[in-house]
């Protein structure tokens, strides 16, 4: 992953304002509120969330497609880490090592077709478990492209100028998120909108979803 080192520095040096003021705390508190014994951090990156959960006595395992990010995470601890792509997880859900009481997806669901992945994650939840998803807020992230599902590009210009490559990501509306969760075998049980303390505008959308019966 060409941006692994730059991303690690940006996170660890606190360069991303929305994370500093709202979103990091939001995901930690949402996961901790479930009182999980065991957590999967999907798309764990350099491992910051697992370190934060470990400080609260919560055990977790992190999965990420980037070997460079997994190696960076292992250097600072917080739990056990594995290199695994989402495609590999869809092909074989047991690669995630479940069951888990909670699965955290913190700005890590970026593809167009989430349903197969959601189904693989559902298979890794223990009875009573839940998935916690934090993503960009659709109303504030729509931009000039308008409020419609579609591919967008993150240039990382606001994160320090060290990123070698832009990153494609799939924008989806609130209705699209709800539809994907339903098709993946989940029902929305909680929805939160962390806000910027200075502007009062939402900086993310945070959803807690439970498997539907059957």
Tell me the per-residue pLDDT of 2-17, one tens digit each, with 9 for 90 and over.
567 887 787 888 888 8
CB 161 within 8 Å of CB 132: no
Residues for the chain: how many in total?
214
What pLDDT digit, counting tens, does each position of 138-189 carry? 999 998 889 999 999 987 776 665 776 788 999 999 999 999 999 999 999 9
205's enclosing H/E stretch is: strand 205-211
The confidence score (pLDDT) of residue 164 equals 64
Whole-model pTM?
0.94
How many Cβ atoms are within 10 Å of 62's Cβ, its own excluded? Answer: 27
The matching CATH number, chosen from 3.40.50.150, 3.20.20.140, 3.40.50.300, 3.20.20.190, for 4-172+202-211 is 3.40.50.150
CB 154 within 8 Å of CB 4: no
Domain positions in the chain are 4-172+202-211
**Sequence-ordered alpha helix ranges (H) in 1-137:** 4-12, 17-18, 24-33, 48-54, 67-76, 86-91, 115-122
Residue 200 gets the label, from left (phi > 0), alpha (psi -120 to 50) or beta, of left
């Amino acid at each position: 992953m060409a941006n692994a080192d730059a991303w690690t520095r940006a996170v660890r040096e606190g360069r991303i304002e929305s994370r500093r003021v709202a979103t990091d705390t939001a995901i930690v508190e949402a996961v901790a509120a479930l009182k999980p014994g065991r957590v999967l951090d999907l798309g764990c990156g350099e491992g910051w969330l697992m370190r934060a959960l470990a400080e609260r006595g919560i055990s977790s395992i992190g999965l990420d497609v980037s070997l460079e990010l997994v190696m960076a995470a292992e250097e600072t601890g917080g739990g056990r880490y594995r290199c695994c792509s989402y495609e590999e997880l869809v092909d074989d859900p047991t690669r995630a090592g479940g069951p888990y009481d909670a699965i955290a997806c913190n700005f890590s669901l970026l593809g167009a077709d989430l349903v197969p992945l959601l189904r693989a994650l559902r298979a890794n939840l223990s009875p009573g478990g839940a998935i916690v998803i934090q993503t960009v807020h659709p109303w504030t992230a729509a931009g000039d492209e308008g409020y419609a599902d579609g591919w967008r590009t993150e240039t990382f210009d606001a994160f320090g100028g060290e990123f070698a490559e832009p990153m494609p990501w799939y924008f989806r509306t609130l209705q699209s998120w709800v539809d994907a969760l339903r098709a993946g075998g989940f029902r929305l049980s909680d929805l939160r909108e962390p806000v910027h303390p200075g502007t009062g505008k939402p900086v993310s959308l945070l959803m807690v979803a439970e498997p539907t019966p059957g």
